[in-house]
Amino acid sequence: MEISGSVALVTGGASGIGAAVARQLAEAGATVVVADVQDEKGEALAEEIGGAFAHVDVTDTNQITAAVDQAAALGELRVLVNSAGIGPAARTVGRDGTYESAHDLELYKRVIAINLIGTFDMTRIAGTAMSRFEPLASGERGAIVNMASVAAFDGQIGQAAYSSSKGGIVGMTLPVARDLAAIGVRVNTVAPGLIDTPIYGEGEKAEEFKTRLGESVLFPRRLGTPDELASMVLECLRNSYMNGAVVRVDGGIRMPPK
């Protein structure tokens, strides 16, 4: 699918993988709407790439709908990338045997609400908007890429909530792709491994930690870069025969229990 001339909406687009995707989409000729809760970063990036910013908490359907309407008003909304997410860690059962020390249920619900339900909510609303545009010469009306994680398959200790949410994204990829085939919209999922994003912090100690972490990767023995993830996202968007697929981008890593 041709990206140039289209409008693209990227959730979680103000930083990390989402920002790398937004930049590469802009370089490919798309008008990008950066959707995030980080207003200052999002507005700065939108200005940098000649796009627009939308404040979006993906747990709020009204904000999702407003962002989709904003994107559709700029032109033909053909691209959606769902990259918004959080990943707090907590064990299912605490060490002291009290009910109070068990995994906080509200935290679990929040991770599911942002990572999984937010992805689906944005997909159903943006997909509806895409269905209103005329199909391209290829018959496509658009393409959607969701961001999962290798934790969907190799969840570690403390990742019950995160792995549940990302496993849900993997699980809905094919059925949603089947649903949206009727309107000519493809759906794929990218599952990153260990990616060098601000989550690891900055400074000498952070760099030492990332180096040690990278040694667990099969090859190359380093963390991946946001640009490497973004390039796979763009391939999923461009390649019209990519549909209903989940692609690991992880250097061959299989995560240990901890």
Contacts of 2 (CB under 8 A, 6+ apart): 136, 238
Sequence spans of domains, the chain = 7-249
Residues 195-224 have a mean pLDDT of 89
**Whether residue 199 has pLDDT greater than 90:** no
- Cβ count within 10 A of residue 204: 7
222 — pLDDT class (breaks 50, 70, 90) = very high
Instruction: Enter the pTM of the model.
Output: 0.96
Closest CA to 76 of 2, 11, 145: 2
Residues 180-192 have a mean pLDDT of 98
How confident is the model at residue 156, as a pLDDT? 96
169 — pLDDT class (breaks 50, 70, 90) = very high
Helices (H), 151-218: 151-154, 160-180, 204-214
The string of pLDDT tens digits covering residues 146-165 is 999 999 999 999 999 999 99
Q: Which amino acid is at 177?
A: A
**Catalytic amino acids?**
162
Phi-psi region at 75: left, alpha or beta (left = phi > 0; alpha = psi -120 to 50): left
Assign domain 7-249 to its CATH architecture: 3-Layer(aba) Sandwich (3.40)
